[in-house]
Amino acid sequence: MASLRELGELEVLRRLAAARRPPTGTVVDSGDDSAVLRGESGRDLVVTTDALIEGRHFLPDWFSPEAVGERLAVANLSDIAAMGAQPRWALLSMGVRPEHDADALVALQRGLAAALARDGAGLVGGNVAGVEGSEWFSLTLIGDSVEGAVWTRRGARPGDHLALSGHPGRAGAGARLARSLGPAAKAAEWRPLLDAWIAPTSRVALAQALGREGGVRAAIDVSDGLGAALELLCQASGVGALIEDDAWPEDAPLELAALGLGMPLSALRLGPSDDYELLLAIEPAARETCRAVAAAAGAPLAFIGRLTDTPGALMLRDARGADRPLEAPGYDQFAGGG
């Protein structure tokens, strides 16, 4: 165990470089001023960046270094999945304290690289800067896609079916439980919620499988909250949405968390929560194919409603068939409380 200060920057960079393998397409690895990458012609580049900040997006008591790396990878992979693209190359920029254990930094990179590798991507470079206060890790992920084939938020049409992967709300509930219960949140009943927060799954494989079949007209990642994502997709596509309350997937752990936290279930499901899940607009004829593709990929996919021709109207139909407006606040980086 040695701190970054003890080893010095060059040795830290050397250890990080030695602990990873350059992914396919790497012409010059990160030991130069820039990395050089060779893609395939006829493919579009798809790029995104997202950061995790200590104390805000992860709590060191709850996250191993590997888990921080994995979560950062999944946060970015999710944005590439939401475009229906293939992740390829990543660059990691970090601000770390001089006292940081160098082995822990290598472990963080290992978790990051493992999560990238599961989806066919790899780390090609980065930057390390010394900080005094909160540490931060910012990843930029470059993917690619067949030219002109990306999904955006803009292609949905009235009548399209709305499909949702996974169980949004769980990650936010897990974070709330950890903050309010402390170590007691490690009890077995909260495990699916803590896992969603600490060890989320990427939906790249699902998106790639759906992309091969066709039928997805628009997509968005729900990591700022499902309600906010639905609103953004409808705005971008000029449509409205009707969600069917009884079409939602059962989520017993989340229902229990709603009771335990004293919050409405709908606030957990629709409000701010760092779940790296996808909301998809699917043409009606492709519904059953997409359902089968998701099942084959081992990814939960629920059809929760459809899009309407009333731009901006987000409605919820309850079990008795009555419609009312859907209300769901998104997450704001700058709102108080942190």
Q: Which of residues 46-105 bind its own copies (CB under 8 A)?
A: 46-51, 53, 55-57, 78-80, 82-83, 85, 89, 91-93, 95, 98
Q: Can you tell me whether residue 321 is helix, strand or coil?
A: coil
Stretch that binds its own copies, among 111-119, 141-149, 259-267, 283-291 (CB under 8 A): 141-149
Contact 141, 223 (CB under 8 A): no
The answer to whether residue 133 forms part of the interface with its own copies (CB under 8 A) is yes
Q: Which stretch binds its own copies (CB under 8 A): 15-23, 103-111, 149-157, 245-253?
A: 149-157
> Which of 16-24, 45-53, 103-111, 304-312 is the region at the interface with its own copies (rule: CB under 8 A)?
45-53
CB of 92 to its own copies, least distance (A): 8
Nearer to its own copies, 4 or 242 (CB): 4
Instruction: Give, as ranges, the residues between 210 and 269 that touch its own copies (CB under 8 A).
Output: 219-221, 236
| Residue 215 CA: distances (Å) to CA of 54, 162, 230 | 39, 12, 19
CB of 9 to its own copies, least distance (A): 5
Q: Smallest distance, Å, CB 17 to its own copies?
A: 13
Nearest residue (CB) to its own copies, 142 versus 304: 142
Tell me: does residue 305 bind its own copies (CB under 8 A): no
Q: Can you tell me which of 2, 114, 129, 296 binds its own copies, judged by CB under 8 A?
A: 129
- Please identify which residue in 17, 64, 118, 152 interacts with its own copies, judged by CB under 8 A: 152
> Distances in Å between the alpha carbon of 153 and those of 193, 204, 288?
28, 17, 22
For residue 182, how far is the Cα from the chain centroid? 25
Nearer to its own copies, 36 or 187 (CB): 36
| Residue 308: strand pairing partners | 240
Q: Interface with its own copies includes 106 (CB under 8 A)?
A: no
**HSE, side-chain direction, 13 A CA sphere, residue 10:** 1
Q: Does 4 bind its own copies (CB under 8 A)?
A: yes
Pick from 105, 85, 217, 96: nearest CA to 162: 217
> Nearer Cβ to its own copies, position 188 or 335?
335
Q: What order do you get walking across the sheet with 240-244 strand by strand?
A: 216-221, 278-282, 161-165, 301-308, 240-244, 314-317, 323-325
Place of tokens 């980065």: 126
Distance CA 100, CA 157 (A): 50
How many whole angstroms separate alpha carbon 1 and alpha carbon 33? 29
